[in-house]
Amino acid sequence: MGVMPVRKLLITMSLPMVISMFVQAMYNLIDSIFVAQINQDALTAVNMAFPMQSLMIAFQTGLGVGMNALISRLLGEKKPQDAGNAAIHGLILTLVNYLLFLTVGLTLTKAFFSVQSKSGAVINYGVEYLSIICPFSFGLFFQICFERFLQATGKTVHSMIMQGSGAIVNLIFDPILIFGIEPLGIPAMGVKGAAIATVAGQIVSMLIGIVLHFVFNKELRLNFKKFRLSFKSIGRIYSVGVPSIIMSGLLAVMTYLMNIILSEYEETAATAFGVYFKLQSFVIMPVFGMNNGIVPIIAYNYGAMRRTIGEESEKNDRSDYYSARITKAVKLGIIFATCTMLIGLLLFQLFPTFFLSFFNPDERLLAIGATAIRTLSWSFLFVGAAVVLTSELQALGHGIMSLFVFLVRLLVPALPLAWLFGKMWGLSAIWWALPVSDLLGLTLALIFVINVNRKVLKR
């Protein structure tokens, strides 16, 4: 983390995570592709379940960001025992997350779908799906937790193994459980089968992650005998984690509220919006994967920089060395993110109907979906750099600034603009609300990062 050339380190840390995030993007996408073969109501239901699944991931990945920032900083400061205690606190908070969504899944799923849709078939399909996803989400939560433990110490190949194993299980079981195999006596379970395949993959990933951590992750030991609950440690985790939870959760909130706005025009528009988000995850997830590699690099070198600033004999050279490593990692991250998003923009502009064809679309979904994909994908020009810059702010302890950027990108003014554009120019204009908001978000991120770099790194 502190000595390997930054370019090589970034590739070493990020490439397995990029592949891993590709695999993660496959979970809901695979469900949607197979479920679309049942009928469009089933596809709409799974798309409308996406905000709840995104919210679960937001709570746990936000916790993971805060946990990893603290663990990496403590390892950079040469405090392995404290890093292990921080990891145990992460396990406890992961259990709290699971219990929260277990309660939600048992009590609020019907209300969740009833607000988005008036179709009884869509609501019934959605309740079937989430009534399995939420109670068995412990696999998702602890899978992400142990993935972050491996990532915090650079074991990203092991992280890729655990993620890939779960995705393979999901891919195998999805068609079997959705459509059944009559000669083998396996019944067709439809949407329920898609949910069972998803949670099965997550549980397999969790079990493999636990084994890989305790066998290979020697740098991060979980010493439960010496553990003492510390509200200070919880506060340090959530000082970075809560803004990240809110930022990631804003995507779920925005998707949910956009579904409501779009459903006022026609339900097919909400389906098209859900399909776009499944497809765009294959473009943006690699950027998030690369980002997951950048955050511990920045956090480790920031911790090392703070340590060397206290050593007067090395203050002028070593602290500048670590500062330069942080800056170079961010620059390389922006280059990768921007190139990835430009490729995605080109593909979405040229082949929207090809991508839609995977979802068994009718003529109306093809027409609305092609317009949505072409318009919404202009956001790719701005999203890549904004994601990297906000991650730098988080890793340096400025999570509130990151929160403001995400508020601008995903909620304000995105939703008011979507409502206004729809009232003024109709359904096709609603899609432009997101590219406009993403441009404003990138502008704000640049202003914040320039200010932080001047005050923190150059000082």
Q: Supply the pLDDT for residue 276.
A: 93
Q: How many C-beta atoms lie closer than 10 Å to residue 78's C-beta?
A: 11
Q: Supply the pLDDT for residue 94.
A: 96
pTM summary value: 0.79
- Classify residue 257: in a domain, yes or no: yes
Q: Supply the pLDDT for residue 409.
A: 83
- Classify residue 271: in a domain, yes or no: yes
pLDDT one-digit tens code per residue, 400-427: 888 788 888 888 888 999 999 999 999 9
- Classify residue 32: in a domain, yes or no: yes
Q: Supply the pLDDT for residue 176.
A: 94
Q: What proportion of the chain, given as a percentage, has pLDDT over 90?
A: 43
Q: Supply the pLDDT for residue 163.
A: 80
- Classify residue 372: in a domain, yes or no: yes
State the Cα–Cα distance between residues 159 and 164, nearest whole angstrom: 9
Confidence of residue 458 (pLDDT cuts 50, 70, 90): low
Q: Which long-range contacts (CB under 8 A, 24 or more apart) does 100-107 make?
A: 100/59, 101/55, 101/56, 101/59, 101/134, 101/137, 101/141, 102/134, 102/135, 102/137, 104/52, 104/134, 105/130, 105/131, 105/133, 105/134, 105/135, 105/137, 106/134, 106/135
Q: Supply the pLDDT for residue 140.
A: 93
For residue 364, give the H/E element and its range. helix 363-376
Q: Print the domain residue range for 261.
A: 6-457
- Classify residue 234: in a domain, yes or no: yes
- Classify residue 167: in a domain, yes or no: yes
> Considering its fold, how many domains does the chain have in total?
1
State the Cα–Cα distance between residues 311 and 303, nearest whole angstrom: 13
pLDDT one-digit tens code per residue, 167-212: 889 889 999 999 999 888 889 999 999 999 999 999 999 999 999 9
Query: 381 near 319, Cβ under 8 Å?
Result: no
pLDDT one-digit tens code per residue, 116-175: 888 899 999 999 999 999 999 999 999 999 988 888 887 878 887 888 888 889 889 999
Assess whether pLDDT exceeds 70 at residue 25.
no
- Classify residue 21: in a domain, yes or no: yes
- Classify residue 1: in a domain, yes or no: no
Query: 334 near 291, Cβ under 8 Å?
Result: no
